[in-house]
């Protein structure tokens, strides 16, 4: 029997993390939930995000998840601690903006952060800045509208380019040579961001690091399981429109997939 890993996000952005998880744990069965019926989380209250995170976690556990990845910076900031308290026997792996590696990478001593307003205003983000920024100047930029662009699959649209140009301009003007992609949706816009800002800017996201941490915790905290060389499966669920979710998920995942409706009890 394969290991089962649950992953949830406010929408389809966490698929960027799921790709890294698949590479790190090829034998695991992956269950992904996009809470697209309530996207974006960035302008929601912490109480709302916590409630949604609890509901999505309960669904994933009902499907046999043995560990859960909170593939959303905003949900991690609002709900990671309550989730770990409520479900103390389940390993939870969250997201956080990659301040530490960005500070190590910058040569101009200026780092730009592209993120949702919810992430930038969180106590967790403030603590990261205090811990890792040091003498490096951190320039933050909230990015209303970027999550919605990815949710529509409009990765090359004129609107997407205009938003990217608007949000990256202040960071470039401040002298940032390293940009943190502080939302799991944003890696899908990385090619467009690269076109706008040029090859000299380093783009950093945390998906690979999260997958490595997940594998470490699965290997150390869960009972050992003999892998039989069977490639794991993926299943996809949404609280939003199923037809739309199937189209966008297939586009971002890179192959045709079926997306199921999240049961009403969890929606």
The catalytic site residues sit at 72, 183
Bond preceding residue 40 cis, omega within 30 of 0 = yes
* Six-digit token string for 239: 């609280």
d(CA 45, CA 27): 37
CB 185 within 8 A of CB 16: yes
Task: Indicate the angle between helix axes 73-86 and 46-62, nearest 10 degrees.
Answer: 60
Residue labelled with tokens 């045709």: 256
Residue labelled with tokens 């290991």: 3
d(CA 113, CA 187): 13
d(CA 118, CA 16): 20
């Amino acid at each position: 029997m394969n290991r089962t890993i649950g992953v949830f996000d406010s929408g389809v952005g966490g698929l960027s993390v799921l790709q890294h998880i698949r590479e790190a744990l090829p034998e695991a069965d992956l269950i992904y939930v996009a809470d697209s019926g309530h996207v974006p989380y960035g302008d929601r209250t912490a109480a709302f995000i916590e409630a949604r995170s609890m509901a999505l976690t309960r669904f994933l556990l009902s499907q046999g998840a043995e560990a859960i990845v909170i593939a959303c910076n905003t949900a991690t900031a609002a709900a990671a601690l309550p989730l770990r308290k409520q479900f103390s026997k389940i390993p939870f792996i969250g997201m956080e903006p990659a301040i530490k590696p960005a500070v190590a990478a910058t040569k101009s001593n200026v780092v730009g952060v592209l993120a949702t307003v919810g992430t930038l205003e969180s106590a967790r983000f403030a603590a990261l800045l205090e811990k890792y920024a040091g003498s490096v100047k951190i320039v933050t930029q909230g990015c209303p509208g970027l999550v919605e662009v990815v949710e529509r699959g409009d990765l090359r649209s004129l609107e997407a380019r205009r938003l990217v140009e608007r949000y990256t301009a202040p960071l470039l003007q401040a002298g940032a040579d390293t940009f943190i992609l502080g939302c799991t949706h944003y890696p899908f816009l990385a090619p467009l961001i690269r076109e706008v800002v040029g090859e000299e800017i380093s783009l950093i996201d945390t998906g690979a690091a999260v997958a490595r941490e997940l594998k470490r915790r699965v290997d150390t905290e869960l009972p050992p399981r003999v892998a039989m060389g069977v490639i794991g499966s993926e299943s996809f669920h949404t609280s939003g429109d199923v037809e739309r979710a199937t189209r966008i998920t297939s586009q971002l995942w890179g192959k045709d997939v079926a997306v199921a409706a999240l049961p009403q009890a969890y929606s």
